Structure 1
Amino acid sequence: MITGINPYLITNGNGAEAVAFYKEILGAEVLALMTFAESPEQPETPMTEEEKSMIMHAHLKVGSADIMLSDSPAGMPCTSGDNTAIAVHTDSAEHAEHLYSHLKSGGHELMKIQKTFFSSMYGVVTDRFGVTWHVAAPETE
């Protein structure tokens, strides 16, 4: 039985920065945060101090949704955001525009935020961590 599906974001060593960013911009609540150094089972290959400080697992709560996040461990290549996008729904066009502008900071715009036939404000942006976001407000306000 499936009890839930959550997006799991993999970052390239900047997971702590991503957690702080999503906490500030999305109002995410950090439910869990563990570095590789805090793991009860250490890998057989030695880690650098930098690798030890990387995020092994983070659990963020955004509204009623859960997002998981981890840095890519050494030797495991990571291409952030390749085939995954996250849809975020806001309660107003103003909040959608605000959120979109912050997610766009350091990232790039894929679809300018605008009124569409299905949303009072909708846009697509890739943030500075390579994660693509579909930002949408209600159809009508």
Structure 2
Amino acid sequence: MSQKVATFLMFQNGDAEEAMTFYVSLFDDAKVVTLTHYGPGEDGVEGKVKQGLFTLAGQEYMCFDSGPRHGFTFTPSMSLFVTCDTEADLDRLYAALAEGGGELMPLGSYGFSTKFGWVADRFGVSWQLNLP
């Protein structure tokens, strides 16, 4: 038996497709693999993401738009950690992901890497960006 693990992102505001498109635009080797929407009469909001599968830098992620509201959303205690090859790449990703979101740790040198920053993007997903 072969097992596979993927990060699954649940969006509560109908933002799954917008978020997926945004993320794919930021990373190399990134693409939307599959995307299905809720149809008429299905148990979800018609036209919203029933299931999305996308890759960022070769890593698979899944997402969907939740119909029911939940008492929770994304939290910084679970974040996506990105190791960048260049300072320019780190700065570009930090600026794009922070726009409309929030800064959790400003760009700086914290002793464990050359440069590091932590943001929550406009969808609430937390990203740690590191330059070793």
TM-score using structure 2 length? 0.86
- CA shift for structure 1 position 120: 1.7
Corresponding residue number in structure 2 for 1:30: 32
Q: Which has the higher helix share?
A: 1
Q: Is the 8 A contact 2:117 2:128 kept in 1?
A: yes
- What is the Cα-based RMSD across aligned positions, in Å? 2.1
Corresponding residue number in structure 2 for 1:109: 103
Corresponding residue number in structure 2 for 1:79: 72
Q: Is the 8 A contact 2:52 2:64 kept in 1?
A: yes
**1:2-81 correspondence to structure 2 within 5 Å:** 3-12=3-12, 13-27=14-28, 28-37=30-39, 42-43=42-43, 51-73=45-67, 75-77=68-70, 79-81=72-74
- CA shift for structure 1 position 80: 2.8
Amino acid at match of 2:124: G
Deviations 1:44-90 (A, max 9, x none): xxx6xxx11111111111112111111112x2426331242111111
TM-score using structure 1 length? 0.81
The runs of at least 4 consecutive aligned structure 1 residues that moved more than 6 Å come to none
Residue segments in structure 2 that go unaligned for 5+ positions in a row: none
Structure 1 residues 115 and 62, CA gap change in structure 2 (3 angstroms): same
Q: Is the 8 A contact 2:24 2:55 kept in 1?
A: no
Q: Which has the higher strand share?
A: 2
Residue segments in structure 1 that go unaligned for 5+ positions in a row: none
Percent identity among equivalent residues? 26
- Rounded to whole Å, the distance in 2 between the matches of 1:20 and 1:29 is 9
Count of equivalent residues: 129
